[in-house]
Structure 1
Amino acid sequence: MTNLNAVDPAAVAQDAHLESADVVIGKNTIIFRRFMRNKTAVAGLAIFLALTVFSFVGGYFTQWDKQTIDPFNIGMPPSAEHYLGTSQAGIDLYAMTVEGTRISILIGLIVGLVSVLVAAVYGCTMAYFGGKVDKVMLFILEALIMMPALLVVAVATSGGGEGLRRDLPSWLLLIIVLLVFSWMGTARLIRSLSMSLMQRDFVKAAQYMGVPARRIVWRHLVPNIGSLLVLDITRGVTGAILAEVAFSFIGIGIKVPDVSLGVLIGGATSQVQTFPWMFWVPLTVMFLLTGSLAMMNDGLRDAFDPSSSSSGSAKKRTALKARVKGNAS
Structure 2
Amino acid sequence: MTNIIDPIAELDEARVENQDVVIAKSRIIFRRFMRNRTAVAGLFIFLALFLFSWVGGFLTPWDKETIDPFNIGMGPSPEHFLGTSQAGIDLLAMVVEGTRISILIGVIVGGLSVLISAIYGCSMAFFGGKVDSVMLFILEALIMMPAILVVAVATGSGGDGLRALPSWLLLIVVLLVFSWMGTARLVRSLSMSLMQRDYVKAAKYMGIPSMKIVRRHLVPNIGSLLVLDFTRGVTGAVLAEVAFSFIGIGIKAPDISLGVLIGQSTGQVSSFPWMFWVPLTVMFLLTGSLAMMNDGLRDAFDPSSSSIGSAKSKTAKKKTR
TM more than 0.5: yes
Instruction: Return the alpha-carbon distance in structure 1 between the equivalents of residues 14 and 306 of structure 2.
Output: 24
Deviation at 1:311, TM superposition (A): 4.3
Q: Does 1:74 align with 2:72?
A: yes
2:43 corresponds in structure 1 to 45
Q: Is the CA contact 1:77–1:84 (under 8 Å) kept in the aligned structure 2?
A: yes
1:238 corresponds in structure 2 to 235
Deviation at 1:312, TM superposition (A): 3.4
Deviation at 1:62, TM superposition (A): 1.0
Deviation at 1:310, TM superposition (A): 3.8
Q: Does 1:226 align with 2:214?
A: no
1:265 corresponds in structure 2 to 262
Q: Is the CA contact 2:261–2:275 (under 8 Å) kept in the aligned structure 1?
A: yes
**Residue 77 of structure 1 aligns to which amino acid in structure 2?**
G
Aligned partner of 1:92 among 79, 82, 90: 90
2:194 corresponds in structure 1 to 197
Q: Is the CA contact 1:37–1:310 (under 8 Å) kept in the aligned structure 2?
A: no
**Residue 246 of structure 2 aligns to which amino acid in structure 1?**
F
Please give the TM-score of this superposition, normalised by the length of structure 1.
0.89
Instruction: Return the alpha-carbon distance in structure 1 between the equivalents of residues 25 and 159 of structure 2.
Output: 48
Instruction: Return the alpha-carbon distance in structure 2 between the equivalents of residues 269 and 19 of structure 1.
Output: 64
Instruction: Return the alpha-carbon distance in structure 1 between the equivalents of residues 68 and 310 of structure 2.
Output: 55
Instruction: Return the alpha-carbon distance in structure 2 between the equivalents of residues 195 and 316 of structure 1.
Output: 35
Deviation at 1:163, TM superposition (A): 2.6
Q: Is the CA contact 1:70–1:90 (under 8 Å) kept in the aligned structure 2?
A: yes
Q: Is the CA contact 2:73–2:87 (under 8 Å) kept in the aligned structure 1?
A: yes
Instruction: Return the alpha-carbon distance in structure 1 between the equivalents of residues 121 and 82 of structure 2.
Output: 46
Instruction: Return the alpha-carbon distance in structure 2 between the equivalents of residues 126 and 277 of structure 1.
Output: 50
Q: Is the CA contact 1:84–1:94 (under 8 Å) kept in the aligned structure 2?
A: yes
Q: Secondary structure in 1 aligned to 2:184?
A: helix
Aligned structure 1 segments of 4 or more residues deviating by more than 2 angstroms: 15-23, 310-317
Q: Does 1:293 align with 2:277?
A: no
Please give the TM-score of this superposition, normalised by the length of structure 2.
0.92
Aligned partner of 1:212 among 209, 213, 225: 209
Q: How does 1:277-316 map to 2 (within 5 A)?
A: 277-312=274-309, 314=311
Q: Residue by residue, what CA displacement relative to the aligned partner does 1:45-65 show, whole Å, maximum 9, x if unpaired? A: 000000000000100121100
| Identical columns (%) | 81
| Two-structure CA RMSD over aligned residues (Å) | 1.6
1:249 corresponds in structure 2 to 246
1:274 corresponds in structure 2 to 271
Q: Between Structure 1 and Structure 2, which shows a larger proportion of helix residues?
A: 1
Aligned residues, how many?
A: 303
1:28 corresponds in structure 2 to 26
Q: Residue by residue, what CA displacement relative to the aligned partner does 1:222-268 show, whole Å, maximum 9, x if unpaired? A: 00000000000000000000000000000000001100000000000
**Residue 34 of structure 1 aligns to which amino acid in structure 2?**
R
Instruction: Return the alpha-carbon distance in structure 2 between the equivalents of residues 59 and 200 of structure 1.
Output: 53
Deviation at 1:20, TM superposition (A): 3.5
Deviation at 1:313, TM superposition (A): 6.6
Instruction: Return the alpha-carbon distance in structure 1 between the equivalents of residues 211 and 17 of structure 2.
Output: 41
**Residue 214 of structure 2 aligns to which amino acid in structure 1?**
V
Q: 1:33 to 1:158 in 2, by over 3 A?
A: same
Q: 1:209 to 1:313 in 2, by over 3 A?
A: closer
Q: Is the CA contact 2:67–2:87 (under 8 Å) kept in the aligned structure 1?
A: yes
Instruction: Return the alpha-carbon distance in structure 1 between the equivalents of residues 246 and 15 of structure 2.
Output: 60
Moved more, 31-40 or 21-30: 21-30
